[in-house]
Amino acid sequence: MMKAIMATKRILITGGAGFLGSHLCDRLIADGHDVLCVDNFFTGSKDNIRHLLSHPRFELLRHDVTFPLYVEVDQIYNLACPASPVHYQHDPVQTTKTSVHGAINMLGLAKRTRARIFQASTSEVYGDPEVHPQPESYWGRVNPIGPRSCYDEGKRCAETLFFDYHRQHRLEIKVVRIFNTYGPRMHPNDGRVVSNFIVQALKGEDITIYGDGQQTRSFCYVDDMIEGFVRMMHSPADFTGPVNLGNPGEFTMLELAEKVLKIVGGKSKLSFHPLPVDDPKQRQPDIRLAKEKLGWEPKVCLEDGLKETVAYFRRVLER
């Protein structure tokens, strides 16, 4: 008991009402910490954290990270940013502002409070990669002026800021590059492939395959990802990252559709639609660094994770 009290930290999570952020709130509350969840509810929802609102160690603040924030904390997890292409392309200027101004404000806060700060970066920094699988040393192939650029370049600039604050102001930074992650509390209309396919299958609608469905992604279950976040935050100070977190299992979108249909059953058929601009053809994380430095690797296979996610969406659609 005494140990838990002494280890309690004041932890700020930006984007804490979103998909990954809300699972991180759950985890850090369960670990005994004081959690301050900051969110402007652009894509996140109070429903994701409603069960925590009356918890004595949980606090919620409606705030946009593009504006300064003065609070006293020991650690910061910076997750605020819409993550699905449909959402981040809705207001691309705001997306870049959130990544860049948001990072500057949170780094300024970390500089003043000397808090350790974690950045949720992304596999999108690799763009449409010519190196496969992608190691952290790969610099990427990113279009700077396309419809995905607000997100990809915003996240790349945020990484630059993190490393410059580290070198210039000696901040303790922790940068992870997250590969496609799925699970309960994904937004049903966020347009991402896992939520789209499951919702379509549950409603008996056609499964929308973009392009020929031969493009690949690697899908990590949310519980595995959150474990990686916490291990990274607790790793030795000299390990800044960037480190890839993701599940190396690689599947085509046709294979994913087949797996979802097998779990859900029903009569959905496949319908083929144009491939979005700059859609990466392949993606698979090289996670050797995470294994070596964090002793981390995913445990949940795609079938098991999809079953949990299908069960969640069934409940949401019944509401």
HSE-CB of 267 using CA atoms within 13 angstroms: 0
Which of 75, 96, 113, 122 lies at the binding interface for ligand NAD (CB under 6 A)? 122
Instruction: Please work out, in degrees rounded to the nearest 5, the angle formed at the alpha carbon of residue 269 by the alpha carbons of 263 and 274.
Output: 115
Stretch that binds ligand UDP, among 12-20, 44-52, 64-72, 227-235 (CB under 6 A): 64-72
With the C-alpha atoms ordered 95, 96, 99, 100, is the resulting torsion angle positive or negative?
A: negative
Of ligand NAD, ligand UDP, none, which one sits near residue 69, judging by CB under 5 to 8 A according to partner kind?
Answer: ligand UDP
Interface with ligand UDP, residue 127, by CB under 6 A: no
Residues 6+ apart with CB under 8 A from 30: none
Interface with ligand NAD, residue 19, by CB under 6 A: yes
Distance in angstroms (rounded) separating the CA atoms of residues 221 and 300: 6
Which of 41, 47, 249, 273 lies at the binding interface for ligand NAD (CB under 6 A)? 41
Which of 180, 200, 215, 235 lies at the binding interface for ligand NAD (CB under 6 A)? 180
Interface with ligand UDP, residue 85, by CB under 6 A: yes
- The active-site residue, picked from 77, 151, 165, 221, is 151
Interface with ligand UDP, residue 111, by CB under 6 A: yes
Instruction: Please work out, in degrees rounded to the nearest 5, the angle formed at the alpha carbon of residue 248 by the alpha carbons of 244 and 252.
Output: 120
Distance in angstroms (rounded) separating the CA atoms of residues 42 and 82: 8
Interface with ligand UDP, residue 193, by CB under 6 A: yes
With the C-alpha atoms ordered 231, 126, 162, 84, is the resulting torsion angle positive or negative?
A: negative
Of ligand UDP, ligand NAD, none, which one sits near residue 32, judging by CB under 5 to 8 A according to partner kind?
Answer: none
151 is catalytic: yes
In the complex, minimum distance from the CB of residue 72 to ligand NAD, in angstroms, rounded to a whole number: 19
Q: What are phi and psi of 158, to 5 degrees?
A: -60, -40
Distance in angstroms (rounded) separating the CA atoms of residues 244 and 229: 11
Residues forming the site for ligand NAD (CB under 6 A): 14-15, 17-21, 39-44, 64-66, 79-83, 98, 102, 120, 122, 178, 180-181
Question: Which residues carry out catalysis?
Answer: 151
